[in-house]
Amino acid sequence: MKHSILFKLTFLLTVFSFSAFAQQSSSIKGKITTADGQPAAFVSIGLKNKNQSTATNENGEYTFAKIKAGSYTLKVSAVGINTQEKTVTLAAGETATLDFVLTENSQTLKEVSIQVRKNKYKIGTPSSSLRLNEPVLEAPQNIQIVSGEALADQQVISMSDGLIRNVSGAVKLEHWGDLYTNISMRGSQIQAMRNGFNVVASFWGPLTEDMSFVDHIEFVKGPAGFMLGNGDPSGMYNVVTKKPMGTNTGEVSFTAGSYDLYRTTVDLDRKITADGKLLFRLNTAVQNKGSFRPYEQNDRYSFAPSLSYQITNSTKFTAEYTLQNAKMTEVGSYYVFGTDQYAKVGPKFTMTQPGVDPTRIKDHSLFLNLTQNLGDKWKVTAQAAYFRYLQTGTSSWPSAVSSNGDVIRNAAIWDAESTMKLGQLFINGEAKTGGITHRILAGFDGGKKEYFADWGQSHDLDLPTAPFNIYHPNYGYPSNGYPNFDRSKSVKERAIAIGGLMDQKYLSGYVQEEMGFFANRVRLTLAGRYTFVSQSSWGAAADKADKITPRVGLSVSIDKNTAIYGVYDQAFTPQSGILRSGATPDPITGTNTEFGIKKDWFDGQWNTTLSVYRILKQNELTADPSNGTRPDGSKETYSVAFGEKRAQGIEFDLRGEILPGLKLIANYAYTDSKVTKVTPGVTGFTVGDVVPGFAKHVANSWLSYDVQNGALKGAGVSAGFTYMADRATDTWSVGLQKLPNYFKLDGGIYYGRDKIRITANAFNILNRYLYSGSYYSWLNAYYWQAEAPRNYRLSIAYKF
């Protein structure tokens, strides 16, 4: 069935593309620039009364190829500029050149162009969803943007598929395959955002985004309280989805790879009305994916239409819907357990039992965005988001692990539902008073999140008299049979019965002003945010907290390409617990102090960022060491504030085109996270203990070279590596064996010319046994999760 869908999709696209390029004889080409001489990228240009249009590329160039001889009127239009028309008469076989210079270079035009990308790997301006309204170079924060072109070159197909090599200090903790993205940076798990909304619905969300509908990803390091009111102070990543551009273009891509990977993606961008006011875009993907381990699958499809309407020259409405559907092997099938050490069996070994029901997920999201420009310098944005997550599945985890390799495998139900209703209203813009420039941001955020799940049913697949043995595995009918879970009641009813409920309500207001002195060479940022949060976990009563978090930043331009900065910022995370005094627990407070230097090299072709930081976390709860037994025989469950944890380090990032055709992404991070204070009486922690969740040394690179001239023009080679040393990513408890150092080498070749691009990569070229894991004290066992041995991918993309 799935292969039939792929064939039909290919056939329809082929027919469409051939019909769109009927052979004719003359052509018109040219270049469109802004008033300040910059290329105007992605600006619409059409043949008036001919129902034929195109858009400029990233260099501002356009072409109408193979049109009939005759007289034509070209019309250039974009939001925020004056429409222009020019007339030309073509003879048969003639090529005419018509250039346009746009009469305005306002903020609204920048939104149409999105980004004038001088190269594929460097983006100099953050998305509007980050609300900054300034270049990355001038922001007093370490912000790294991973472009969609870099992800395509590396053949990254989901958020958990090699993405983090592009950002300094980022590591992946154990996760359930490709179910959730769990990225740690600066010693803690960072928040997940999409289009400026915090989309973490529970301890486990959100579902990993398929790259088919992702434009680029922004990593913001540190608390960034002006973007999110509550969350870990280590930072966040913001997934920016593809929006309609009105370019009347499309792309279809086919990917095949090792272990039965077959994938098709389609990207269609269309101008529905001739005036370019109503635009439509559709991104879809269909994927069949096996595994290097037997009996595993990860099949998906996604459907992401989006629509934008330019109501007036200053008012724009955008709507986006995304459906992701996943069918994968039961959650937890990726883990292997052993008592004495890591990696006791080979990387292709699995403990999963064929025949256990897979996990099925439907993930819906809807974004609505309305922007109103108030002149050239101010803009009001109102946006809302709705998420609906539905999961029916199974989770596997052992009940017992023995030293001789015997394991009692257990399959538990994991059915879950989640809803999120989120809203934002903010205004940003610029003003001048005397010689001072003011960049002002103010707004409100609010949301309601609910998550409930049934974990209350489980079944041992193996009997103590007939266990599963990792050295002599038997994948036949399990000795204790398969589970038969009771789903006669709704998920919510079952969740209430077992305490599987989590919810959060929050409301926050914020204001930020950046004052620019001395022709905006010195920029002082003052900001504050008030946030109120009410949340509960595991069915307990709601805990409420509110806090004002300040932000102070200073950025100084040494020259037009170099800036130094410093920032002090805070974040807070509400937490649940019962204090012996009866008081409400204080939220976890995180403070970040950071200094850095940013530089654009060779007219912005590539840039570097060097930063040093220190994050302090206080008030985190742990078990009260004086807990005893109540008169009724039950155990006391009081908590106390733990003390203080500190994460500090150095980070370096480089990205861009360092020489013509030679593009490089390289980064290094040193991270150190330790306990610095312990509350008197608290046991199990000592000052100086490592706080797991990081690797002390992380280095990454991705280098590619495009042949610039000759017969091989358009061909290229690429290579990259990831290295981690002194790993402390074991997050549960410390065993006797530490994780070994990690080194992975990847590389490939590609060819792109005209409308065709072919990309081939080899991953884990050295064929190393790569894994992460931890020690689980209650099982007295190590667990680990292996990465794929040497494997390959081949992609063919066609633009039309």
CATH number for the domain including 88?
2.60.40.10
Last residue of a domain, one of 88, 108, 128: 108
Residue 716: strand pairing partners: 706, 750
Q: Tens of pLDDT along 269-300?
A: 999 998 889 999 999 999 999 999 999 999 99
Instruction: Give residue 11's pLDDT band: very low, low, confident or very high (50, 70, 90).
Output: very low
What is the 8-class DSSP label of residue 509? E
Q: Which two tokens stand for residue 6?
A: 């792929």
Question: pTM of the prediction?
Answer: 0.84
Tell me, yes or no, whether 511 and 599 share the same domain: yes
| Span 474-479, average pLDDT | 96
CA atoms of 760 and 763, how far apart (whole Å): 10
How would you label 264-301 residue by residue, b for 16+ Cβ within 10 Å and e otherwise?
bbbbbbbbeebebbbbbbbbbbbbbbbbbbebbebbbb
Helices (H), 214-324: none
Helices (H), 512-568: none
Q: Is 8 helix (H, G, I), strand (E, B) or coil?
A: helix
Report the range of poorest mean pLDDT among 120-124, 355-359, 410-414: 120-124
Q: Tell whether 340 is covered by a domain.
A: yes
| Span 764-780, average pLDDT | 92
Q: Which two tokens stand for residue 447?
A: 């949301």
How does DSSP assign 145-180, residue by residue? Answer: EEEHHHHHHTT--BTTSSGGGGSTT-EE----TTSB
What is the CB neighbour count within 10 angstroms for residue 24?
13
From residue 51, how far is each of 18, 90, 501 by CA, in Å? 18, 18, 55
Edge-to-edge order in the sheet of strand 235-241? 143-147, 214-221, 235-241, 191-194, 197-198
Tell me, yes or no, whether 204 and 255 share the same domain: no
Contact 625, 682 (CB under 8 A): yes
How does DSSP assign 744-768, residue by residue? Answer: EEEEEEEEEETTEEEEEEEESTT--
**Pairing outcome for strands 100-101 and 26-33:** parallel
CA atoms of 572 and 366, how far apart (whole Å): 28
Which of 721, 667, 724 is CA-nearest to residue 694?
A: 724
Please give the helix or strand (H or E) that residue 699 lies within, else none.
Answer: strand 694-706
Helices (H), 553-666: none
Tell me, yes or no, whether 390 and 300 share the same domain: yes
Tell me, yes or no, whether 593 and 694 share the same domain: yes
Instruction: Give residue 51's pLDDT band: very low, low, confident or very high (50, 70, 90).
Output: low
What is the CB neighbour count within 10 angstroms for residue 580?
12
Does 42 score more than 80 pLDDT? Answer: no
Last residue of a domain, one of 193, 216, 241: 241
The CATH number of whichever domain residue 216 belongs to comes to 2.170.130.10
Q: Is 14 helix (H, G, I), strand (E, B) or coil?
A: helix
Greatest alpha-carbon span in the chain = 100
Q: Which two tokens stand for residue 588?
A: 């976890």
Tell me, yes or no, whether 227 and 326 share the same domain: no
CA atoms of 56 and 39, how far apart (whole Å): 9
Tell me, yes or no, whether 595 and 686 share the same domain: yes
Tell me, yes or no, whether 37 and 125 share the same domain: no
Quote the pLDDT of residue 552. 94
From residue 338, how far is each of 178, 693, 787 by CA, in Å? 23, 22, 17
| Span 142-162, average pLDDT | 93
Quote the pLDDT of residue 316. 94
Residues 6 or more apart whose Cβ sits within 8 Å of residue 270: 244, 246, 248, 279, 280, 281
From residue 582, how far is each of 577, 579, 619, 626, 639 by CA, in Å? 10, 5, 16, 15, 11
Q: Is 5 helix (H, G, I), strand (E, B) or coil?
A: helix
CA atoms of 699 and 170, how far apart (whole Å): 10
| Span 376-388, average pLDDT | 94
Residue with tokens 């190269």: 119
| Span 596-619, average pLDDT | 93
Residue 768: strand pairing partners: none
* Upstream peptide bond of 473 is cis (omega within 30 degrees of 0): no
Tell me, yes or no, whether 481 and 557 share the same domain: yes
**Pairing outcome for strands 26-33 and 639-641:** unpaired
Q: Tens of pLDDT along 679-714?
A: 887 777 788 888 888 899 999 999 999 999 988 999
Tell me, yes or no, whether 487 and 508 share the same domain: yes
**Pairing outcome for strands 522-537 and 543-559:** antiparallel
Which of 565, 577, 573 is CA-nearest to residue 549?
A: 573
| End-to-end CA gap in the chain | 27
CA angle 649, 143, 114 (to 5 degrees): 170
Looking at per-residue confidence, does 455 or 205 come out higher? Answer: 455
Q: Tell whether 791 is covered by a domain.
A: yes
Contact 703, 166 (CB under 8 A): no
Domains in the chain: how many in total? 3
Which of 141, 241, 161 is CA-nearest to residue 199?
A: 241
Contact 206, 763 (CB under 8 A): no
CA atoms of 173 and 185, how far apart (whole Å): 10
Quote the pLDDT of residue 731. 65
Phi, psi (rounded to 5 degrees) for 779: -95, -10
Does 531 score more than 70 pLDDT? Answer: yes
Radius of gyration of the chain (CA): 28
Q: Tens of pLDDT along 245-267?
A: 888 999 999 999 999 999 999 99
CA atoms of 519 and 493, how far apart (whole Å): 62
| Span 547-563, average pLDDT | 93
Q: Which two tokens stand for residue 435?
A: 């010689």
Q: Is 537 helix (H, G, I), strand (E, B) or coil?
A: strand
Q: Tell whether 113 is covered by a domain.
A: no
* Upstream peptide bond of 206 is cis (omega within 30 degrees of 0): yes
Q: Is 124 helix (H, G, I), strand (E, B) or coil?
A: coil
Tell me, yes or no, whether 50 and 139 share the same domain: no
Q: Tell whether 523 is covered by a domain.
A: yes
Does 105 score more than 50 pLDDT? Answer: no
Q: Tell whether 618 is covered by a domain.
A: yes
Q: Is 235 helix (H, G, I), strand (E, B) or coil?
A: strand
What is the CB neighbour count within 10 angstroms for residue 765?
17
Domain extent, residue 186, equals 118-241
Contact 728, 673 (CB under 8 A): yes
Residue 719: strand pairing partners: 703, 747
| Span 78-93, average pLDDT | 77
Mean pLDDT of the chain: 87
Instruction: Give residue 493's pLDDT band: very low, low, confident or very high (50, 70, 90).
Output: very high
Quote the pLDDT of residue 226. 55
How would you label 532-544 residue by residue, b for 16+ Cβ within 10 Å and e otherwise?
bbbbbbeeeeebe
Q: Tell whether 630 is covered by a domain.
A: yes
Which of 637, 616, 626 is CA-nearest to residue 680?
A: 626
Report the range of poorest mean pLDDT among 189-203, 381-395, 726-740, 758-772: 726-740
CA atoms of 24 and 754, how far apart (whole Å): 18
Tell me, yes or no, whether 612 and 752 share the same domain: yes
Residue 778, classified by CB atoms within 10 Å of its CB into exposed (0-12), middle (13-18) or buried (19+), is: exposed
From residue 446, how far is each of 236, 321, 530, 649, 666 by CA, in Å? 18, 20, 12, 33, 37
Last residue of a domain, one of 241, 262, 290: 241
Quote the pLDDT of residue 588. 79
Q: Tens of pLDDT along 558-568?
A: 999 999 999 99
Q: Which two tokens stand for residue 254?
A: 């086919």
| Span 55-63, average pLDDT | 78
Q: Tell whether 541 is covered by a domain.
A: yes
Tell me, yes or no, whether 496 and 571 share the same domain: yes
Quote the pLDDT of residue 737. 84
Helices (H), 448-503: 491-498
Does 115 score more than 50 pLDDT? Answer: no
Does 451 score more than 60 pLDDT? Answer: yes
Report the range of poorest mean pLDDT among 84-93, 137-146, 388-397, 657-666: 84-93
CA atoms of 661 and 6, how far apart (whole Å): 35
What is the 8-class DSSP label of residue 202? S
Does 576 score more than 50 pLDDT? Answer: yes
From residue 660, how far is each of 226, 606, 663 by CA, in Å? 38, 11, 8
Q: Tell whether 683 is covered by a domain.
A: yes
Q: Which two tokens stand for residue 23?
A: 């052979």
